[in-house]
Structure 1
């Protein structure tokens, strides 16, 4: 950067793959992801959980290695706390059960992938790996289904919140932030149309304000 005169405002960013237990808990019990992010000095865009290397390093047998194994959940919980605090993305790992072969084998692979994508969306992990082009089908379907599932009640609750109506929900600013983020992501991925988003009675600009402050 110095040699080529790259401005400090456009420093080269990078991403970190987390594949060892030492990257989760240090020798003195420290939460290592926070130390990794601090060492990155603002350059780190995301931390990626490495499903198979991480679980293998803990002695998990191959048949039990999975994005939903308890050791995976613990690691991602620690990563999520560290990344959320500084606005860095967290990416879930991958499943190596790819949807290829006979129709039955493809369907089985799709069911597994769909379940895992939905699971990490529910855990507020918005990113993930796909190892095979066929997994893009269930990535798309699971994402759209997740954001279609609750957009209407989220829109109703947010509309009541902005209007000060507490007859059905007594939501707080923190929840308003969460609902705004959900609706904006639903719209961005195509799960919610412009017309549907407008039923909140709140403009997209105001939704972004709510996302930051929880208030208008």
Structure 2
């Protein structure tokens, strides 16, 4: 082949550096395991038996109100998929009901000036006991108070006491730790909190970069400063961004009956979060349903499950594969919606990927674009991780 330009790279002297910056900012990697939820438990109500109690309560509701033959009707599933989902939910609740645990010292706990130190010590002891028993969830941690409250010393003291207590009792920091940093109204708070984490690492003898945190997006002010540069600016400590539906909708002056996860203003915030952190490796998590069954009767429980599953599906459709669960009943609808989401398209995606690899049309004459194939491959991997196939 004849060409006109003999050395194209000589015309692009900055290409190597630019490409290295791209690779650092947007690492091309398959999706890792991510918990499907974060369970929030107020610190004063948390103990070594909390995880087991949540699993038992969810399994009891599941057994009492959701026989296999009712699965499809309650959640609007195809009968064939519903059977597999029912089996997987039952198994999950019996073996690993909680994938991600957060001991809450913020809104779910409130201001307790004379009590917080004691609850910090109790929480650390409970975490160490769970770890010793082999029942500490794969992801775990705490939510501290916001710097926006005007008392960062309280926030850091709680984190310090919690980590120090866990390490003294366990002998090390168990894997899976993350701390949630709420109500980030000023970008500077993120850097200040990251500096505190670095200081704690030095004091506790932890390797640099061990302590990572997830920021909460709970106000329009926060959305305005979200961008990929945050990841590098925080030295890789930003692990995730979690959406806070109730604070966010309140900040937007929505009336109480419109404070819901599927409101359009929440969709906008999620889209900004998705855009800001796309390709950076920062995980995204949606918010919660702040409701529990109105009573113990089957109708009330099933209505809650339907509504919660509807919200979970809404999150999943927006590419948010994790959300918050605030009550044991939510575990049933969370796993039901997640498993149905992954199973309902699994075979279709697998067939289309195989067809593309074999350079032939998929069933129905579908000719997929490479970007779609990459998306389906990622979806299959995410499904395998969520379903416990790998």
Q: For 2:313, what is the secondary structure of its paired residue?
A: helix
Match of 2:217 in 1: 18
Q: 1:39 to 1:98 in 2, by over 3 A?
A: farther
Q: 2:354 aligns with which of 159, 166, 170?
A: 159
Q: 1:52 to 1:157 in 2, by over 3 A?
A: same
- Are the aligned partners of 1:22 and 1:32 in contact in 2 as well (CA < 8 Å)? no
What stretches of structure 1 of length at least 5 have no aligned partner?
26-30, 194-203, 205-216
Q: For 2:216, what is the secondary structure of its paired residue?
A: strand
- Are the aligned partners of 2:212 and 2:237 in contact in 1 as well (CA < 8 Å)? yes
Partner Cα separation in structure 1 for residue 231 and residue 220 of structure 2: 16
Q: 1:130 to 1:4 in 2, by over 3 A?
A: closer
Match of 2:73 in 1: none
Q: 1:51 aligns with which of 215, 225, 245?
A: 245
Correspondence list, 1:103-142, <5 A: 103-142=298-337
Measured on the aligned residues, the alpha-carbon RMSD in Å equals: 1.9
Higher relative contact order (CA 8 A, sep 6+): 2
Q: 2:258 aligns with which of 60, 64, 75?
A: 64
CA drift at 1:100: 4.4
- Are the aligned partners of 1:99 and 1:135 in contact in 2 as well (CA < 8 Å)? no
Aligned residues: 187
Match of 2:289 in 1: 95
TM-score (norm 2): 0.45
- Are the aligned partners of 1:23 and 1:33 in contact in 2 as well (CA < 8 Å)? no
- Are the aligned partners of 2:228 and 2:280 in contact in 1 as well (CA < 8 Å)? no
Match of 1:186 in 2: 383
Match of 2:370 in 1: 173
- Are the aligned partners of 1:23 and 1:32 in contact in 2 as well (CA < 8 Å)? yes
Match of 2:130 in 1: none
CA drift at 1:120: 1.1
TM-score (norm 1): 0.80
Match of 2:196 in 1: none
- For the pair 1:2 / 2:193, whether they are aligned, the reply is no
Q: For 1:125, what is the secondary structure of its paired residue?
A: coil
- Are the aligned partners of 1:13 and 1:45 in contact in 2 as well (CA < 8 Å)? yes
Partner Cα separation in structure 2 for residue 180 and residue 43 of structure 1: 28
Q: For 1:2, what is the secondary structure of its paired residue?
A: helix
What stretches of structure 2 of length at least 5 have no aligned partner?
1-200
Structure 1's consecutive aligned runs of 4 or more residues displaced over 6 angstroms after TM superposition are none
